[in-house]
Amino acid sequence: MSDMKPYRVERVAEVVRRVVSQTILFELNDPRIRNVTVTRAEVSADLQHAKVYVSIMGSEQEQRECLEALRHARGYIQKKLGEQLVTRYLPTLTFVLDKGVKNSLRVAAILRKEQEAHAKPAASEQPTAGDAADQHTA
């Protein structure tokens, strides 16, 4: 049954992403689970496995603890998914740390610093209001 239609797999992946995200946001009370964003979900063609990519803001240790807490809550999250998803098999969830968002933020910060560094010399070369007045009196 590997000839599953691609749009069906995409629809299931979107339901997985939405349900997991809502469950994490509104139903999990574990203090280790915070600052988590579900970025995407990838579902296998047979709909039996789903990789859930999460972005976790915080230190490396906070990320590890949060990921461990998500793995611990997997059964509850899968149960919630089963309430929303009508398929023959309920995908087994695997949580994966998505480093793309964190890398994007790091690159943006570097670019911002570079722009500020190049903007400062240009700002000091601009004539001030006092310079303009001196030119008119001469």
The predicted model gives 109-128 an average pLDDT of 72
- Is 70 or 114 the better-scoring residue by pLDDT? 70
> With bands split at pLDDT 50, 70 and 90, how would you rate the model's confidence at 129?
low
Does the structure show a pLDDT above 90 at 5? no
Verdict on whether the full-model pTM lies above 0.75: no
The predicted model gives 108-130 an average pLDDT of 71
Does the structure show a pLDDT above 50 at 1? no
Which residues, 6+ apart, have CB-to-CB distance to 38 below 8 Å? 17, 20, 21, 24, 52, 53, 54
The reported pLDDT for the residue numbered 18 is 97
d(CA 40, CA 54): 7
| Tens digits of residue pLDDT in 15-73 | 999 999 999 999 999 999 999 999 999 999 999 999 999 999 889 999 999 999 999 99
Burial class (CB in 10 A: 0-12, 13-18, 19+), 65: middle
The predicted model gives 82-105 an average pLDDT of 88
d(CA 35, CA 27): 14
**Spacing of C-alpha 121 from chain mean position:** 36
- Which has the minimum average pLDDT: 87-91, 119-123, 128-132? 128-132
CATH class of 6-98: alpha beta
Q: Where are the domains of the chain?
A: 6-98
Which residues, 6+ apart, have CB-to-CB distance to 4 below 8 Å? 45, 46, 47
